[in-house]
Structure 1
Amino acid sequence: MSSPLGVLFANFCTGTVEQRVFESIDQPRMYVRYIDDTFVSANSREEIENLRRAFHNHGCFSSTIEHSQDRCLPFFDILVEKREVLFSTKVYTKPTNLGMCMNGTSECPERYKHSTISAYIRRALSHCSSWNDTHDEMERVAQVLVDNGHPNQNIEESIKRNINR
């Protein structure tokens, strides 16, 4: 079993190296990190390569770089799209996602089924930066939940409840 302190140590070590790196080079336009995954927006690929090299030199990190394609880049379960001035975001599902979740007819407490529905809806509300994308994601989620045996009434009630919050 891994230590529950593993995430804390990883975050601390990465933060320490980060501090040393940004003392030696300029920070890019946008730099976002979650534990050891980073999202960087820079002026050029050369700037990103310099950042990668600096991290390697200061902390012996071995890293990979994934560049955007068609101005889009998935970061965890968010698809980030570069617009003219801003970024837009929406829920990202991998092409290999089969749309499976807890079945609505399973023998488990009802609160688990409601929690499954709410999790999908909260993700749509928190990850989508436009109402059109939110609406599209809600329709996709509703279909996934129906396909997995959840009643339409429960889905609609949960959507209303979460939107009203």
Structure 2
Amino acid sequence: MSSKTTVISGFELVKHLQKWSKNNLRQETLFCTIDVTDLYTMVPQIEGVLSLKKMLDHLKLKQIGGLKIETIIRLSRFVMQNNYFSYDGQFYHQIRGGAMGSPLTLTMANCYMFFYERDIVKQINNSNGLYFRYIDDIFIVINWPVRHLLKQIDRWNHFDENIKLSENISSIVDFLDLHIENQDGQLFTTIYQKPSYEPYYLPFNSIHPLHMKKNIIFTMLLRAIRYCSTFQAYLDERENLRMALMVNKYPNKFIHEQFDHVLLKLNIDQPLT
């Protein structure tokens, strides 16, 4: 149900973007990323529980794991309304939103956003655009003029007093770990690293099993292959990965062997050099 409007990785977004851009990406197409401000702490507790109940009704579920829906809702209400914490020698009772890091808070927030965004999704889809969300981060690509898009975002900001949207509109955006550009009507993607990124991985001389070190190289190079839309971007990312691994004492021969292993797994019988 919500899988049509949510993504859990940059790779999912890449696949949707590649398919959409074949017939829809224009030279003037802009990307829009939106942050939902303080989502976890802005969702009212009662409304959050009600959105969970609404979602369970929407899915026509009678029970989960042997628990009746009524029991789940009562337990959820108890948890949401009984969060306490201490600060500077004082105890506080949280009366708005949920506890950060709580799985229940995440579920509530996703349910709340699902019902909030339905009219927005319908509007974007009717205009042949793409809308995807990862918890409190939203990605939109649509062939609207900037002024019209800003006007619509302002309108969406009045849908719910608890939801505040903060947008960034450009031909170059970053979403999750994906860097996206519209280069004169051509889609370009590669890996995005946050400014706080440091090239530190599990050191090769650690006592961890060897397969864990192999898996680090496998997953990182696989991500580069999936994300990079040009061969040069792939080569750049592969070299960045090699340098980071060498900083962490990985032997160059070991790195080469694992790079080749990735290509073998993907049935690429010629070296990507």
Give TM-score, length-normalised by structure 2: 0.53
Which residue of 1 is the match for residue 189 of structure 2?
Answer: 89
Structure with the higher strand share, 1 or 2: 2
Amino acid at match of 1:48: L
Matched-pair identity in %: 24
Unaligned runs of 5+ in 2: 1-98, 267-273
Q: Pairwise mapping of residues 123-142 of structure 1 onto structure 2 (< 5 A)? A: 123-142=223-242
Higher-RCO chain (CA-CA 8 Å, sequence separation at least 6):
2
Which residue of 2 is the match for residue 20 of structure 1?
Answer: 119
Query: Which 4+ residue blocks in structure 1 deviate beyond 6 angstroms?
Result: none
Alignment deviations for residues 79-118 of structure 1 (CA, whole Å, 9 cap, x no partner): 1010233321001123442312221112222222222222
Amino acid at match of 1:105: N
Number of residue-to-residue matches in the alignment = 163
Which residue of 2 is the match for residue 63 of structure 1?
Answer: 165
Which residue of 1 is the match for residue 213 of structure 2?
Answer: 113
Which residue of 2 is the match for residue 144 of structure 1?
Answer: 244
Q: Compared with structure 1, are the counterparts of its residues 36 and 51 closer, same or farther at alpha carbon in structure 2 (3 Å cutoff)?
A: farther
The secondary structure found in structure 2 opposite 1:32 is strand
Q: Compared with structure 1, are the counterparts of its residues 80 and 145 closer, same or farther at alpha carbon in structure 2 (3 Å cutoff)?
A: same
The secondary structure found in structure 1 opposite 2:181 is strand
**Cα distance in 2 for residues equivalent to 1:110 and 1:24:** 50
Q: Compared with structure 1, are the counterparts of its residues 107 and 24 closer, same or farther at alpha carbon in structure 2 (3 Å cutoff)?
A: closer
**Cα distance in 1 for residues equivalent to 2:121 and 2:214:** 45
Give TM-score, length-normalised by structure 1: 0.83
Unaligned runs of 5+ in 1: none
What RMSD over aligned residues (CA atoms) do the two structures have, in Å?
A: 2.3
Q: Is the 8 A contact 1:90 1:129 kept in 2?
A: yes
Q: Compared with structure 1, are the counterparts of its residues 115 and 12 closer, same or farther at alpha carbon in structure 2 (3 Å cutoff)?
A: same
